[in-house]
Structures are given as structure tokens and as C-alpha cells.
Structure 1
Amino acid sequence: MVSKVPIIEQCTVSENVQQGIIVEDLAGYLARNKKLVFPHRHNFYHLLLFTKGGGKHTIDFETFEIVPWQIYFMSPGQIHTWSFEGEMDGFVVNFDKNFFKTFLLRPDYIGSFSFFSGLVRDEVFMVKGAERELIVDTFQRLQTYMRDVDFARISLLYIFHLLEKQRDLPLALRDDVYNHTLLRNFLNLIELNYKSLRLPKDYAALLYITPNHLNALCREILGSSAGEIIRNRVLLETKRLLVIKDYTIAEIAYELNFNDNSYFTKFFKKGEGVTPEEFRKKHI
């Protein structure tokens, strides 16, 4: 298979990577990677804070207008491209998938933050005015002392907590640890099983709750039914496969456990409004 969307490794985009993390000014990062405007994926976590500039950036086929004090988070494997305009500035942080592995008691702790939910709409948001000076100061100290790996980990977690506290999260999640954990477990289960499990009742059984409880939770917090969330994950993987490699439509249908190609095409068109072939032509 010929890869259409390359995977970018951290050593390709960052100089002097220390202990699995790099923190640098956005202007210098872009000057060194000015040709990296084509669609690409990372094999590391990537976050970027804009303090100046404009244009657009796209994550997993969703496009955002850039404004100062916007921040975005990306997990390994997501497809990304950008088109920046004007004088850009801010901060870039890239860190390896295993950066916190030996530091935290819970290996999945990073996934508890809303901006690592795997849902693009949670990954792009504005830093509120009251926190901007503190966030910038922490980024600057992180940049200065990133060679101290434990300091870097603590500083990065501090930034995550500052940002999580200011998010406009649904009321159901603000003080409800149980619902937050339940939703995170549901999304994690989808990530592991979306190719084989397509019905909310299957996930509800794994979570030891009723399908009605799961649907009510998803509608209250995410504004979508559990079934829609599952289907959207299948659609996202279809879109990634359509642009990543030279798979035939039949091969993609088989990869995603569809037994009938015509049903697969109908499923995709219902969700995206175009056929898989039309989507591929538009994005390649």
C-alpha cells in the first residue's frame, strides 16, 4: 500500500528533543517546518497555543479559524494540516506517547482530561483571559527547564489542570466523577471495539448499565445518542482510511467489518452526504 498521509516523527519536526519532550516558540517551529503544510499525522502528542496570527488548521477533517489565544490538542494518529496567515507566534509542545508512563500510577490518566477525549470538538478551545498570563509564564518556564524531565512532567500536568478548570464543561461533568468516568470508559471502549461492536446495548453491557442510562448520559453531556457516537467513530476511521492509503472501497469495508459493500457505501453517504469515492477525490 502507498501511504498518502505520512506519519511525522518527533525527531523530524523538533530539534534537540530532550527526554521525549520539546517545547519551543511557534515562530521558530514554523520557520523550521515551513514545508509541513500537507496533510500529515504525528506519532506523538502535540499541543499548540496561538498568541498571534490567523489562518486555518484542520484536525481529522474539521477546520478551525485561528484566533489569538486559541489552543489545540492532538493525539497520535490524527490527521492534521494548516494554512497560517500573517505573523504567527505562540508555543508548541510535542511529547512522546510514553512520556508519563513511568511517572503516573494510572497509565490512562492523561485520557481523563476533556481535551484528550478523542472528540475533535473537545480539542480546540480558547484560553480565558484570567489564565493567559499564568499559562504563558508556565510555558516559558517549561521551555527553559525542559531538560529536567520530572519538572517538565509536573509543569505540563499543571498546564493541563489549569486548562481543564476553565473549560465550559457540561453541568453533568463538573462535579460528577462517576459520570465523567463512565463517559471516558465508554469512549475508550469504542476506541477498542468500534470495528466489531456497533450497538449501544453491547457497550452498556460492558459498562454494567442499561442502554437507556448510556443514551441519556451521552445526550446530556455530548448532545448525541450513544449510537451516533459509535457511528461517528466508524465514519472517522473510514475517512482516515480513504485518504491514508490506496485501499479499495471493498478493502475498507472489509477492514471495518462490513459484509456488504453497498451497505457500507449507504452507511457512509448517510453520514457524510457523499459517497466514499467522492470524499476521496475531494480530500486527495
Structure 2
Amino acid sequence: MQPDIPNYALYGEEGTALFPDTMHCESIASRSRQLDWRIAPHRHHRLHQFFLLESGGGSIALDGQFHELIPPVAITIPHLTVHGFRFHKETQGWVITIPQQVLDEALKSTPDLIAEFSTPAVVSATPEIAASIKQIETEHRNSRKSRHGYLTHLVGILAIDFARRLEQHRFDIQKKSPEKTHLQTFLALLEERYMECHSAGGYAAAIGLTTQHLNRLCQQVTGRTTSKIIQERLMLEAKRSLVYTRMSVSEVAYSLGFTDPAHFSRLFRQNIGLSPKAFRNSIELVP
């Protein structure tokens, strides 16, 4: 088995045991201080994280993209997103770690929001986000009656607060529309099936649209074709594997559903401008 990107339940804690609580809440300082305020690139399986930085700051790497963190700032990180931090010393804030099934349960009444949390984002924190996280922190510390239900309810409120803040960072379409719903459905399906389905037609059929309609929609909202969006998602995962694992180029290709490694390499060069091997050699692993 090839070494993989570190995959933790909580950072630095190995193991495959079921998540032991409804969710986890801790201060940024509690874990980062003992690690000299640096968190190496890693990811979490089936765990979604929300961060709130109230003071201090630093930087975050999200799938190789670096963002400066100027408090008050909030971050949403979907499961399997490779991320690492460099915090300023004595940065103050909170980390909320939520099993995906709890987040899904919290969003049952607002399923249209699920797609909002399929990509990471860094935004300035609103008072509502800060209040929701602090309320979660308070409830997490106690063991009162109906704790699970109340925490799940608070996670739903936090997710709504985040979704409202994220709205201006997503699409140019400001009002709810069938087009936006279709696009969100496509992006959610892509996140689930990118390794097995590489064709625009496959996604269009799953949504109930023609390939031309989905392509037109993608271009109107994002400026990119359906095929380009699919390729970008594949290339993102390819870059993750090339930088953070020791898989050969052929193994990376097969893991992403390509039957011909040469075709994968050509597509990678077309999209990234380098061969997979050259890209691997050009990247530094730490911010």
C-alpha cells in the first residue's frame, strides 16, 4: 500500500474508531500551541470542519491555494480537503469538527444547502457565525439532557449562518432559480462521482438535462464548460495525489478512473501546463 496524505479523526490522532461524540469543539490554541503553531497538510475522512479566528491570524493552505487569515475570519473545510495552517503565536479561536452524517442530519430541513459545503472557503466572520460557534462550545462542554439533539440543532444554525455568508462568494445569481439548483446538483454529483464519471453527458442525464443545457448553464454561471469543470476536479485530485503520495503517475491515473495513463498525462499537461512528473518535482509540501 502506498503512503497517503495523513488522514486523521482529529489532527495527530490516528485510528479508525467511530467518532466518539456528536461533534468536537476545541480552541485553536489547545492543539496548535504544542505544535509551534504549525499544522502540517492533512485531511479528514467524513468529517467537516468550521474554524473561527478571533485574534492573531496566520495563513492556510487549501489544496495548494494559500489564504492569509486576518481575524475575524471563518473557514469551512469539507471532508478530504487537504489543509494545513501556520498560525501566529497565541492565535485565539475555535475549531468545530462535525461528522458528515451529523451535518447531513442538521441540514435535513434545508437540503439545498448541502452543496454549499462541498468546497472550502475563507470568509470574514459575521457576528452570527461567532455567536453560533460560541453557543456550540458552551453546549459541548456540558452533559445536559438532549445534548445530541441540541448540538445537532446548533450545527444546523451554524451551517445556515455560513451559507448566508458564503452566498456572495458563490455564484453571480443572487436569487433562487432552477438554474442555480441544477448547477448545485451537478457540483454535488461531481464531488461524489468524479472518479467514475468523466463525461458531461453522464452528469446531464443524472440531473435530467440535455448535455447542451447543462453546458450552457455552466458557462453562464461559471464561465467554464461542463467538461472543463469536470477536468478541473480531476486535476485537483491528481495534484493532491502527486504532491502528497508516492503513487506512480500510472497509479494516480488508474485511481482517478482513467484506463490509459498516457491519456491522463496528456490531459494533465493540457490543464496544468506541466507533465505530472514535472509538477510533482516543482511543488513544495509546506506553506
TM over 0.5: yes
CA distance in 2, matches of 1:222, 1:180: 11
Distance in 2, Cα, partners of 1:245 & 1:191: 21
Q: What does 1:254-265 align with in structure 2 at a 5 Å threshold?
A: 254-265=254-265
- The Cα shift of 1:268 comes to 1.0
CA distance 1:50–1:35, change in 2 (3 Å): closer
Moved over 4 A (4+): 32-36, 100-110
Gaps of 5+ in 2: 14-18
Amino acid at match of 1:138: S
* SS of structure 1 residue aligned to 2:91: strand
| CA–CA distance in structure 2, aligned partners of residues 264 and 233 of structure 1 | 13
* Preserved CA contact (<8 Å) 1:173 1:221: no
Q: Aligned partners of 1:24 and 1:152: how far apart in 2?
A: 15
SS of structure 1 residue aligned to 2:267: helix
Give the C-alpha shift of residue 195 in structure 1: 2.9
Mean CA deviation greater in 257-266 or 58-67? 257-266
Equivalent residues of 1:50, 1:90 under 8 A apart: yes
Separation in 2, partners of 1:32, 1:20 = 26
Give the match for residue 235 of structure 2.
235
- Deviation of the 1:46 alpha carbon: 1.1
Q: CA deviation at 1:186?
A: 0.8
**Are the aligned partners of 2:103 and 2:155 in contact in 1 as well (CA < 8 Å)?**
no
1:170-249 map, 5 Å: 170-172=171-173, 174-176=175-177, 178-249=178-249
Match of 2:98 in 1: 95
Give the alignment of 1:159-174 within 5 angstroms.
Answer: 159-166=158-165, 167-168=167-168, 169-172=170-173, 174=175
Extract unaligned runs of 5+ from structure 1: none
What does residue 269 of structure 1 align with? 269
Computed over aligned residues only, the root mean square deviation of the Cα atoms, in angstroms, reads: 2.8
Give the percent of matched residue pairs that are identical in Structure 1 and Structure 2: 24
Distance 1:32 1:99 in 2: 29
Q: Which residue of 1 aligns with 2:148?
A: 149
Task: Compute the TM-score of the two structures, normalised by the length of structure 1.
Answer: 0.83
Distance in 1 (alpha carbons) for counterparts of 2:118 and 2:218: 13
Aligned to 2:86: 83
What are the residue-to-residue correspondences of 1:26-105 with 2, within 5 Å? 26-34=28-36, 37-43=39-45, 44-100=47-103, 105=108
**Normalising by the residue count of structure 2, what TM-score does the alignment of the two structures yield?**
0.82
Contact 1:268 1:276 in 2 (8 A): yes
C-alpha separation in 1, matches of 2:98 and 2:105: 14
Q: Structure 1 residues 206, 61: closer, same or farther in 2, change over 3 A?
A: same
Alignment of 1:8-23 (within 5 A): 8-10=8-10, 12=12, 19-23=21-25
